A and B are shown apart, each in its own frame.
Chain A
Amino acid sequence: MPDALLLHMKVNGEDVEVAAPPHFTLLEVLRYKLDLIGSKQGCDKGDCGACTVQLDGTARLSCLTLAAQADGRKVRTVEGMTAAHLHPLQDCMDKQVAAQCGFCTPGILMAAEAYLTKQARAVSRDEVAEAMAGNLCRCTGYVKIVDAIVEASEIMAAKEQG
């Protein structure tokens, strides 16, 4: 087995070439090789969702994804959400005070964005609760996060139509 693999990915819109040990997870490459520390390690076993990123637009647990599996693919992390302005999801989370300690927030944003992009419509509280059940938060009781995602879905759907 080689000491390192040379991987090519498009990370947050930019072509990236990175060498990493073959056993490295995508989370390890993001955090330790690319200094994208927004994706968090909460359990390293796929239980908490704090490491959620998007692989070709689908939410994935980066702690359970080998970096090699991302070779040649598009990776999106929370760092990629912020352009000139906050993304509506980020903005709603901020305004609704849906990030308390904030450690679960990047993973929640990634999972929610992937979900809302696929739905491309305003969603209900119940739908959000079901779609987001893989991401744990211990601070909020989830109320304000659900509020924020529902509100963002309305803004995003209105933008699509407009």
Chain B
Amino acid sequence: MGHASNSSEEAKAKGSVGKGLARVDGAAKVRGTARYVDDLKFPGMHHGLTKRSEVPHGILRGIHKREGFDWSQVVVVTAEDIPGRNTILLIEEDQPALVAIGAHVRHVDEAIALIAAPTRALAREAHGFLDLEIEEIPAVFDCEEALSAEVNVYGDDNILKTYLIEKGDADIEEKLASCDHVVEGLYRTQAQEQMYIEPQGMIASWGEDGVCHIIGSMQCPFYIQKAMRALLALDDDNLVVEQAVTGGGFGGKEEYPSMIAGHAALLARKAGVPVKLIYERDEDIAATTKRHPSVVRHRLGFDADGTIRAIDVDVIFDGGAYLTLTQVVLSRGVLHAAGPYKCENTRVRGRAVATNTPPHGAFRGFGAPQTTFAYERQTQKAAALLGMSPFEFREHNMLRDGDRTATSQLLEGSVGSEDVLRAVKEVAEANPLPKDDPATSIRHGRGVAFYFHGAGFTGSGEARLAGRATVALAEDGHFEVRSSSTDIGQGVQTMFTQIAATGLGVEPDAVRVPTPATDRVPDSGPTVASRTCMVVGRVVGQASVALKNRIESWASENGFGDMPLRQAATAMAKVEGEISETVQYAPPPGIVWDDETYTGSAYPCYGWAACVIDVRVDTDTYEVAIDRCVHAVDVGKAINPVVVKGQIEGGTLQSLGWALWEDVIYKNGKVANDRMTNCIVPTFSDAPEMHTIIVEEPFANGPYGAKGVGEIPMDGPCAAAAGAVEHALSTLVSSEGFDALPVSPEAIQRAMRLDS
């Protein structure tokens, strides 16, 4: 992309990519002036509330407005008020927006009716006077029990989706039997709450022209548009979905916002005024999607010299009551299940099962953390069995450039596997663990994890999405990047500013990246899957260069050849009207993926990472403190290294929190810990200092070499933390004590008592 230029403005701008600039939205955020959805007001606006089933499985027989309340003050919406199809459309149409009378209720937080009132207090009062009549039927809450299909939640067998990956000709059982050693493990992981600090919320209003306008906290404006088209029976001309400044997402605002948007739109349509629907925290924790609980059986066959020869994995995800995104999450789970290791004989089976719990969904890592936990626990056990160092076993088996993955994808370039492992190993070896003092209750342990994460959509997904982005000269003389990529805290606006400024050869302050609205931006695809920088950033960069070239040739043709780009652009716009360039994503050549056999190029490329976690376990109190956290991540190219480090640090702590403390407790399908004090996430005092190392193995098809970074830091630290606790207590407890998450003080206490 290097365009030679002598202009000093351009020479300065060249450095914009790769610099740790402050965020373009940073000043508004530290001043407290950034406006999130709950900070917005519209004239006559009412407040919405959702009436939920409270019954895990049943048939809705009636909705009754009890006497004693003046119902003329409020608006009540039920399934009868839906103008289009009663569904929250995503992959399938199985999930209703509101359960209709006579239809099935499949989980406790199913939306049945909606209320809008001039004040929240009045809406709450009406909520108490609205009675639901539900005929309860037996329910199933455990995904392994649901496999017996005695209680039917979905289809005939409760199976939402299955996958099979097979590599190698030999029968996997024979191959395992021929290995010198086989390590077998059963791993369980729990649901995890995204716990964005801003609760979910939307405001909907209908104009006199019949246009429905939705604004709110979201990751994917066009997902909402698609769902609203079906629910509200509107075409795109009568539908505008706009993102407000969004207070965190982590996947939690990928799919569920369509539900809230639909509810707000239905209420606003009937009430004739704008309606704001903001979730209370307990409602948000209880009703919205979480990370899929998993059960993973893993068999790792290897020879005495440490060479892995056979891998067999069986993955079960609890999908909850509806399909939502589960099949895609399971896909990523199975595609990562064999790990970043060479192996000629591999089998991975995956099943997602329906239960009567609120649907599980997208959460950073998207299925990969569950299987990564399993394979990295296995790797640790295998290395220990052979007496090899955890680094040596991994170095011996790791995928390198030119190797093939479990789906037989040939890795060609941008493989930072050796670099990331070496980087953390050097820090670890320079900082040996302190020796345990037997006179105290403190035991020290070290855990290592090594992992990869496919960036972008699976297989031919990016080709199907055909994401587009536009760079234009706005009326006020700024260059504007228009895309549907949402900044949810990860720094999209800043990153796109740097990419566009560099492509255009201008200062970053000449570029603006507004929050998207579906009537103002092209569909760049959803803000998910670690794809935003790599895929959308790529087309933003290409559009910027194309626009620069067009302006420059216009300028030289019209005698303005010496004029700085911005001035030339303004002159050109006066003659030509708005000038803009839109580029559609073209996947790298050679991507061949077979969805039937699950073979080929699963992802455009992979990020690679390794981490070392040192812990201190108190055998009296069972508390775990993290003394060291070293994390090396190959991101291709850090467009903004400070922002990238922030992504890695945030993801690392979410992974450590999931490993050691975070849990979602269900009782009869209902979240029992629906507060931030009992559904805990790490605090300032739980967080370790972090040693974060950025490794750059450029990806030829990413902007300036960049590839995905958002999710990979979530995948591995969980396994390293569990491994570190195992190591600390290795003389006291057998390793199975650390095969289920979270490795909480309670779990450690149980493990130590069982073994004593």
Which residues 34-68 in A have Cβ within 8 Å of B in the complex?
37-45, 47-48, 50
Assess whether B684 is in contact with A43, with CB atoms less than 8 Å apart: no
Nearest CB of B to A32, in Å? 9
Assess whether B20 is in contact with A97, with CB atoms less than 8 Å apart: yes
Assess whether A97 is in contact with B23, with CB atoms less than 8 Å apart: yes
Q: Does A122 lie at the interface of the complex (its beta carbon under 8 Å from any beta carbon of B)? A: no
Assess whether A138 is in contact with B650, with CB atoms less than 8 Å apart: yes
Nearest CB of B to A135, in Å? 7
Contacts known (A42-B198, A136-B197); A94 close to B489, Cβ less than 8 A: no
Assess whether B197 is in contact with A137, with CB atoms less than 8 Å apart: yes
Residues of A within 8 Å of B20, CB to CB, are 97
Which residues 581-634 in B have Cβ within 8 Å of A in the complex?
none
Q: Does A129 lie at the interface of the complex (its beta carbon under 8 Å from any beta carbon of B)? A: yes
Contacts known (A43-B675, A139-B646); A99 close to B23, Cβ less than 8 A: yes
Choice from B26, B650, B683 contacting A99 with Cβ under 8 Å? B26
Residues of A within 8 Å of B25, CB to CB, are 102
Q: Does B681 lie at the interface of the complex (its beta carbon under 8 Å from any beta carbon of A)? A: yes
Q: Does A86 lie at the interface of the complex (its beta carbon under 8 Å from any beta carbon of B)? A: yes
Assess whether A138 is in contact with B690, with CB atoms less than 8 Å apart: no
Choice from B39, B199, B681 contacting A138 with Cβ under 8 Å? B681
Assess whether A130 is in contact with B685, with CB atoms less than 8 Å apart: yes
Which residues 639-691 in B have Cβ within 8 Å of A in the complex?
642-643, 645-646, 649-654, 675-677, 681-685, 687, 689-690
Residues of A within 8 Å of B26, CB to CB, are 93-94, 97, 99
Assess whether B196 is in contact with A101, with CB atoms less than 8 Å apart: yes
Closest Cβ neighbor of A101 among chain B residues: B489
Residues of A within 8 Å of B22, CB to CB, are 94-95, 97
Q: Does B247 lie at the interface of the complex (its beta carbon under 8 Å from any beta carbon of A)? A: yes
Residues of B within 8 Å of A101, CB to CB, are 196-198, 246-248, 488-489
Residues of A within 8 Å of B489, CB to CB, are 100-102, 139
Choice from B27, B32, B33, B36 contacting A94 with Cβ under 8 Å? B27
In the bound complex, what is the Cα–Cα distance between A45 and B677 (angstroms)? 9
Assess whether B281 is in contact with A45, with CB atoms less than 8 Å apart: yes
The interface size bin for chain B is 35 or more
Residues of A within 8 Å of B677, CB to CB, are 45, 47
Interface 1/0s, chain A 72-88, versus B by CB < 8 A? 00000111011000100
Q: Does A125 lie at the interface of the complex (its beta carbon under 8 Å from any beta carbon of B)? A: yes
Nearest CB of A to B64, in Å? 29
Nearest CB of B to A41, in Å? 7
Residues of B within 8 Å of A20, CB to CB, are none
Nearest CB of B to A11, in Å? 14
Assess whether A77 is in contact with B32, with CB atoms less than 8 Å apart: yes
Q: Does A162 lie at the interface of the complex (its beta carbon under 8 Å from any beta carbon of B)? A: no
Residues of B within 8 Å of A132, CB to CB, are 684
| Majority SS at the chain B contact face | loop
In the bound complex, what is the Cα–Cα distance between A61 and B681 (angstroms)? 19
In the bound complex, what is the Cα–Cα distance between A10 and B29 (angstroms)? 24
Q: Does B250 lie at the interface of the complex (its beta carbon under 8 Å from any beta carbon of A)? A: yes
Assess whether B685 is in contact with A90, with CB atoms less than 8 Å apart: no
Assess whether A102 is in contact with B676, with CB atoms less than 8 Å apart: no
Nearest CB of B to A81, in Å? 8
Assess whether B30 is in contact with A138, with CB atoms less than 8 Å apart: no
Q: Which of B30, B281, B643, B682 has the largest count of A CB atoms less than 10 A from its CB?
A: B30
Assess whether B685 is in contact with A133, with CB atoms less than 8 Å apart: yes
Assess whether A138 is in contact with B689, with CB atoms less than 8 Å apart: no
Assess whether A140 is in contact with B650, with CB atoms less than 8 Å apart: yes
Residues of B within 8 Å of A102, CB to CB, are 25, 28-30, 34, 245, 247, 489
Residues of A within 8 Å of B29, CB to CB, are 94, 99, 102, 105
Nearest CB of B to A129, in Å? 5
In the bound complex, what is the Cα–Cα distance between A145 and B34 (angstroms)? 18
Q: Which of B35, B491, B677, B683 has the largest count of A CB atoms less than 10 A from its CB?
A: B683
In the bound complex, what is the Cα–Cα distance between A132 and B682 (angstroms)? 12
Closest Cβ neighbor of B193 among chain A residues: A138
Closest Cβ neighbor of B38 among chain A residues: A41
In the bound complex, what is the Cα–Cα distance between A125 and B743 (angstroms)? 26
Q: Which of A43, A79, A81 has the largest count of B CB atoms less than 10 A from its CB?
A: A43
Contacts known (A99-B29, A138-B250); A144 close to B197, Cβ less than 8 A: no
Which residues 13-72 in B have Cβ within 8 Å of A in the complex?
20, 22-23, 25-36, 38-39
Contacts known (A44-B281, A86-B30, A101-B488); A136 close to B683, Cβ less than 8 A: yes
Q: Which of A44, A90, A102 has the largest count of B CB atoms less than 10 A from its CB?
A: A102
Residues of A within 8 Å of B35, CB to CB, are 37
Assess whether A40 is in contact with B684, with CB atoms less than 8 Å apart: no
Residues of B within 8 Å of A39, CB to CB, are 32
Q: Does B277 lie at the interface of the complex (its beta carbon under 8 Å from any beta carbon of A)? A: no
Q: Does B195 lie at the interface of the complex (its beta carbon under 8 Å from any beta carbon of A)? A: yes
Assess whether B675 is in contact with A45, with CB atoms less than 8 Å apart: yes
Q: Does B397 lie at the interface of the complex (its beta carbon under 8 Å from any beta carbon of A)? A: no
Closest Cβ neighbor of B656 among chain A residues: A141
In the bound complex, what is the Cα–Cα distance between A32 and B642 (angstroms)? 36
Assess whether B687 is in contact with A138, with CB atoms less than 8 Å apart: no
In the bound complex, what is the Cα–Cα distance between A31 and B675 (angstroms)? 23
Choice from B23, B33, B689 contacting A143 with Cβ under 8 Å? B689
Which residues 150-195 in B have Cβ within 8 Å of A in the complex?
194-195
Residues of B within 8 Å of A137, CB to CB, are 197, 684
Nearest CB of A to B491, in Å? 7
Residues of B within 8 Å of A90, CB to CB, are 30-31
In the bound complex, what is the Cα–Cα distance between A37 and B36 (angstroms)? 9
Q: Does A5 lie at the interface of the complex (its beta carbon under 8 Å from any beta carbon of B)? A: no
Assess whether B676 is in contact with A43, with CB atoms less than 8 Å apart: yes
In the bound complex, what is the Cα–Cα distance between A91 and B154 (angstroms)? 53
In the bound complex, what is the Cα–Cα distance between A94 and B489 (angstroms)? 13
Residues of B within 8 Å of A48, CB to CB, are 197, 281, 676
In the bound complex, what is the Cα–Cα distance between A134 and B491 (angstroms)? 25
Nearest CB of A to B286, in Å? 13
Q: Does A109 lie at the interface of the complex (its beta carbon under 8 Å from any beta carbon of B)? A: yes
Q: Does B280 lie at the interface of the complex (its beta carbon under 8 Å from any beta carbon of A)? A: yes
A-B contact sample (11 more), CB < 8 A, given A45-B675, A93-B30: A40-B247, A79-B33, A97-B22, A100-B646, A101-B489, A133-B685, A136-B195, A137-B197, A138-B197, A140-B649, A146-B684
Please give me the 6 A-B residue pairs with the lowest Cβ-Cβ distance, nearest first.
Answer: A38-B32, A101-B489, A103-B247, A102-B29, A78-B32, A141-B649
* 30 examples of A-B residue contacts, CB within 8 angstroms: A37-B32, A37-B35, A43-B199, A44-B281, A78-B31, A79-B33, A82-B31, A91-B30, A97-B20, A97-B26, A99-B29, A100-B650, A102-B30, A102-B34, A102-B245, A103-B36, A103-B198, A128-B684, A129-B685, A132-B684, A136-B197, A137-B197, A139-B248, A140-B649, A141-B649, A141-B651, A141-B690, A143-B645, A144-B649, A145-B684
